[in-house]
């Protein structure tokens, strides 16, 4: 799974988010206690990572009785994330070029 780390890093995932997402990909569904046991992270850190992965649409949360279960979202979400990053970059490009030109005239 180490071959995926550069790709996931380029999609603005931290190393901790990457390790948790890859772990979740290996499992069908899991809870916080199981994630704590499988990682070197404490419960508060796991909760924080799950929250950020949920914001990035990379984790799906379900409730089974009183227990909350987590699973990785489909890796297809990563393609959508890459498309969004590309879109945002293209959208910012004209302004960045204008900023570059202004600074060249100052030198």
pLDDT at position 7, please? 86
Beta strand ranges found along 8-106 (DSSP E): 59-64, 67-72
Q: What pTM, to 2 d.p., does this model score?
A: 0.80
Question: How would residue 107 be classed by pLDDT, with cut points 50, 70 and 90?
Answer: low
Average pLDDT over residues 25-44: 94
**pLDDT tens by residue, 49-73:** 999 999 999 999 999 888 999 999 9
> Comparing C-alpha atoms, which of 9, 19, 92 is closest to residue 49?
19
Label residues 13-40 b or e (16+ Cβ within 10 Å = b): beebbbbbbebbeeeeebeeeebbeeee
To 10 degrees, the CA torsion angle through 79, 82, 84, 90?
A: -140
pLDDT at position 48, please? 97
The DSSP 8-state label assigned to residue 30 in this structure reads: B
Average pLDDT over residues 6-17: 90
């Amino acid at each position: 799974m180490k071959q995926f780390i550069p790709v996931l890093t380029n999609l603005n995932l931290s190393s901790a988010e990457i390790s948790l997402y890859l772990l979740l990909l290996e499992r069908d569904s899991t809870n916080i206690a199981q994630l704590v046991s499988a990682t070197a992270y404490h419960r508060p850190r796991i909760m924080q990572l799950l929250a950020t992965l949920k914001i990035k649409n990379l984790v799906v949360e379900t409730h089974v009785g009183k227990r909350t279960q987590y699973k990785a979202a489909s890796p297809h979400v990563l393609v959508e994330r890459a498309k969004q990053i590309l879109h945002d970059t293209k959208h910012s490009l004209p302004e960045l070029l204008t900023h570059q030109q202004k600074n060249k005239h100052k030198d």
